[in-house]
Amino acid sequence: MADRKQIHSDKAPKAVGPYSQAVAVDGWLFTSGQVHLTPSGELIDADIGTQTRQALTNLGSVLAEAGAGFDDVVKVTVFLRDMADFKAMNEVYSEFFQGALPARSCVAVLGLPVDARVEIEAVARIGN
């Protein structure tokens, strides 16, 4: 089996279930979805822009723990509870992803953990 390493950052919230914040394998990093929890586990009761910013800040902390950054991300999946939030989410998203943009999917879902309005996961190349 390939070299597999669990990634954990104290600068991102702990997993709320039986999973890792991210897993690194063969030069790739696969992150779990990040939501609007603070690193201490506090829920931010806020608008979609603020929730998106916290989710991406958490994602950045997990990427950094693995030695990566937003420029290393090749694929993002965004889960929205309401597609009406698409424009506001994109405004914040574009603050974090610039230049050579990753591929991305954005889907509407019926519900998300901890009543989040947005959840964001990524795949990144590491160890380059």
Instruction: Write down all domains in the chain, each with its CATH number in brackets.
Output: 4-125 (3.30.1330.40)
Q: Are 121 and 23 in contact (CB under 8 A)?
A: no
**What does the alpha-carbon distance between residue 22 and residue 95 come to, in Å, rounded to a whole number?**
22
**DSSP 8-state assignment for residue 62:** H
pLDDT per residue over 4-16, tens digit each? 999 999 999 998 8
- What is the average pLDDT value for the chain, to the nearest integer? 95
Instruction: Identify the residue whose tokens are 């698409």.
Output: 86
Q: pLDDT tens digits, residue range 33-81?
A: 999 999 999 988 789 999 999 999 999 999 999 999 999 999 999 999 9
Name, in order, each residue with C-beta under 8 angstroms of 64's C-beta and a sequence gap of 6 or more: 9, 11
Q: Provide the pLDDT for residue 49.
A: 97
Largest Cα–Cα separation, the chain: 43
Task: Kindly state the tokens that stand for 121.
Answer: 């996961």
